[in-house]
Amino acid sequence: MNDRKDGTGLEVHKFGNYYGGYVNGLKHGNGMLVTRDLTYSGEWRLGIINGFGTLESDESRYEGNFSNYLKHGHGRENFKNGDEYVGHYVNGKPEG
């Protein structure tokens, strides 16, 4: 037996909390991370934000695809000032 988390669990830290799935001790599957600065709800793959999710911060709300923690692929971002971008992201930046 090992001490690695498998299944669903909760982590509580000074910087924030995570609730969601684990495989071999890594965040995996659907999960939610809540910190002072942001909330992410969506897919994790072997400890990394990858797949579809929603990221909310003081500046904006993004719903779309992620790769290696970055906005990547199709997404929609609504900014607090009322602006909106719908389109393609590459390595965290809008393209197009």
- What residues make up the domain containing 28? 7-95
Encoded amino acid at 42, one letter: G
Whether pLDDT at 94 is above 80: yes
Residue 2 placed within a domain:
no
**Residue-wise pLDDT tens digits, 32-91:** 999 999 999 999 999 999 999 999 999 999 999 999 999 999 999 999 999 999 999 999
Contact 30, 20 (CB under 8 A): yes
Q: What is the pTM of this model?
A: 0.91
pLDDT top residue among 36 and 96: 36
User: If we measure between CA atoms, which residue out of 58, 75, 77, 57 comes closest to residue 67?
Assistant: 75
Structurally, the chain folds into a number of domains equal to 1
User: If we measure between CA atoms, which residue out of 61, 24, 26 comes closest to residue 43?
Assistant: 26
The DSSP H or E segment spanning 73 is: strand 70-79
Q: What is the CATH number of the domain that holds 86?
A: 2.20.110
Question: According to the model, what pLDDT value does residue 96 have?
Answer: 75
